[in-house]
Structure 1
């Protein structure tokens, strides 16, 4: 397997790591086999956008499809993926060094709420850079203060850095790694055939239509007052037990008030206390509450692989 790395990534660290990783190698092998002589052309013109569980639950598929159309991206395949704790950790293996342990717990709540939806799209706009790179640039930062006003996340009016609805494969190498990691061999080959055909199978159209129909009735929001209104009465009721329960309940209620004020809360301790009280709380409520009250990153700890610098793909080789 001879890899022309300049066509797949402009980050030497990424090339060195992916070359030895089975997920990337499996994705690359299947893509080379199914796309054949058109491998370079099709990988360059294809991008991958993941709508995370929080994006599906809050009804963001329709505006995302509109944004893609405005930017001249045409969907050619769609696939749901269920995330296990191991799978989402492997997905972000090279970024997790910058996350606090509390943030990892919140991320686990997010991925426990339901499946992701993978959208494979063809770039119909003439561009000197690969489709994955162009779409990654259009996605926008998770930080509202540094985000372009024309980006996808700006259009979605996202203000939560942890619950940010979408992920995009940054470069062609990332697309190949992610299809190797996230899809079964049969799913991967089906998707690659759709990429080669350039048109979405009817079953995938049905999948999108079903999701769009479900969005009509979805009432999920990122408003912290909603989960607090469900949680706090249960916490107060639990205080009627023994003295230990009353003490734990008082501690949890003090923390919920801090959450209401937008202050940092020790999230793993919070979840342990809620569990010890025997309170029934959904992963969605825990995800929303935790996402506004945990330290987002571990200061001083860099990612193993960062995003490609602007302009690296503006030239050949």
Structure 2
């Protein structure tokens, strides 16, 4: 296997004249339109390992035509997964591989390493309980309607729309999926090819790489066969109960309980009292079963997701960025 060779700057040997990355300075040129990301990912261990995973013949072309989407536990609870796959296929994204995996606090922070700096303390308090509520599914998607200048990942990210419903535009995909709030937004997508490289490698620590290599080996994705994602839906839904994800109904249901959540629903059932709920979350965690989703429905509806005035370390690239880059 070919390995990356560290680039020695003109300063010569020695610590002061040695590059601090084994990844060539232009390794990500065709994979991101963001100069800051090209620089950061040279020092990112997951991006570096991902480059090795995607070194097979044709892998760079594959990365332009293929992307990834994660169906999160809220999509399962809301029974949106089948509909999400329907809409994606209608819009030209054909599933070519899928695996189940589980988020944990470390994976969550590493996937969003360059965005989590802008997350509010309230969001940080809630997100692990949400993403840890059950299995998620990562799906590789081949773009059958790819724009000549846009990678599949960029087209999907632009079509997906913002996490927050207040920033929705037209018929973005998350609106069509029935996005509820900034955390109950059902899907996560890799922003551009560099992120496909990094995030698939991160998730492959849990899923293995065989299924990724099998998708890479498909010269032309098979059409008309069984969908690799749909066959996994029954397993997802066996573990996560169906829920309406409605905050007002959840407060009413919780009010009938005899525990701290019932007391909060009866005495602090107002968004202005969200800190009371977050305090209980820190002290007791979430209940089991459908009550877990009642609590999460209330909290995700009431919290502020982002720190005001704080921008993520790496911003989401736009189609315009890519057309300029091309």
* Structure-2-length-normalised TM-score: 0.81
In 1, distance between residues paired with 2:201 and 2:93?
23
SS at match of 1:233: coil
- Mean alpha-carbon deviation: is it higher for 117-126 or for 140-149? 140-149
Unaligned runs of 5+ in 1: 240-247
- Mean alpha-carbon deviation: is it higher for 195-204 or for 168-177? 195-204
Q: Would you say 1:305 and 2:314 are equivalent positions?
A: yes
In 2, distance between residues paired with 1:251 and 1:148?
35
Within 5 Å, give how 1:1-317 maps onto structure 2: 1=4, 2=24, 3-32=26-55, 35-36=56-57, 38-127=58-147, 128-184=149-205, 187-197=208-218, 198-199=220-221, 205=227, 208-211=230-233, 219-234=242-257, 237=258, 253-255=266-268, 257-259=269-271, 263=272, 265-266=274-275, 267-272=277-282, 275=284, 282-317=291-326
Unaligned runs of 5+ in 2: 5-23
CA shift digits 1:57-91 (9 cap, x unpaired): 21112221222222211110001111111111111
The question of whether the paired residues in 1 share the 8 Å contact of 2:135 and 2:236 is answered with no
The Cα RMSD (Å) is 3.1
> Kindly tell me: are residues 264 and 134 of structure 1, through their superposed partners in 2, closer, same or farther at Cα, counting changes over 3 Å?
farther
> Kindly tell me: are residues 204 and 95 of structure 1, through their superposed partners in 2, closer, same or farther at Cα, counting changes over 3 Å?
farther
In 2, distance between residues paired with 1:187 and 1:67?
28
In 2, distance between residues paired with 1:49 and 1:186?
15
SS at match of 1:117: strand
In 1, distance between residues paired with 2:221 and 2:227?
10
- Mean alpha-carbon deviation: is it higher for 197-206 or for 145-154? 197-206
The question of whether the paired residues in 2 share the 8 Å contact of 1:132 and 1:168 is answered with yes
In 2, distance between residues paired with 1:100 and 1:211?
32
In 1, distance between residues paired with 2:200 and 2:89?
23
In 1, distance between residues paired with 2:60 and 2:199?
17
Q: How many residues align?
A: 298
In 2, distance between residues paired with 1:98 and 1:184?
26
Deviation at 1:142, TM superposition (A): 1.6
CA shift digits 1:32-60 (9 cap, x unpaired): 1xx32x12211110111111111122111
The question of whether the paired residues in 2 share the 8 Å contact of 1:73 and 1:122 is answered with yes
CA shift digits 1:254-302 (9 cap, x unpaired): 32x214xxx45114313246x39x9767432332111011122111221
SS at match of 2:128: helix
